[in-house]
A = this chain, B = another copy of it.
Amino acid sequence: MSLALSHRSDERLPLYQRLRDVFTAHIVEGRWRPGAPVPAEDALATEHGVALGTVRKALEGLVASGHLERRQGRGTYVRRPAFRNALARFFRMTDAAGDPVQPEARILRRRTGLADAAAAAKLGAPLGSKTIELFRVRLVDGRPILAEEITLPFAPFAALMDLPTREFGDLLYPLYERVAGRAVARAREQITFGRAPSRVAAALGVENGAPVAIIDRIACGFDDAPLEARRSYGPAERFSYAVDIR
């Protein structure tokens, strides 16, 4: 089966780019599942009727964009993004012994709401559509270090309203995948600096208006559609982030 015939794509694009689009579609549509290996390179080459090098170049693009992961001698896998300690890139998170830790999470509030203009824009949902709102705090050694406001579209995540919050666990993204079948593929974060609103200050145990770093995150699925909007607050003095520029 020839690629040009099997897939509607701009004929003027290079073969390897069209091939990459085909592979991306496989990931988006779940035919290639996160954590699972994709077919071997030579199998893909014969399947699509192209040379091995063309397949390799297409795969390289998806590796560069973070969709795939190569493991020498084993295969090429759909990458499951490691958001495990995403916020540790921004805040110094160490326990009493100075070792890096995964903060414990505690849900303080869970309720349904209606998307205001900001939430609707972030989630790409209609204004006034139903949402789930979570407010949680994250703790190290039992002490609060982060407060998070989370907004989800109601429909895909309705099951979250039935599950006891104590069963949510410390990480939400694996939970999303488990109860809603939605995997987070990437996220965009915006860092600003402000002062703690009262509810956040209370949760963090700091005084009202204390300086905080604010991280606004929009998490998206493999199809780049927004899944979750999140705002994280942490004490400004714990904030630290490194960037390389060229």
Residues of A whose CB lies within 8 Å of any CB of B are: 65-66, 79, 81, 83, 86, 185-194, 211, 213, 236-237, 239-246
Contact = CB atoms under 8 A, between A and B. Distances in A.
B239 A193 contact: yes
Given A211-B211, A211-B236, A236-B211, A191 B244 contact: no
Count of chain copies? 2
B189 A245 contact: yes
Contacts of A86: 245
Contacts of A245: 81, 83, 86, 186-189
SS class of chain A's interface: helix, strand, loop or mixed? strand
B242 A188 contact: yes
B246 A191 contact: no
Interface centre among A185, A189, A194, A243 (most CB of B within 10 A): A243
A245 B246 CA distance: 19
Given A211-B193, A211-B236, A236-B211, A185 B246 contact: yes
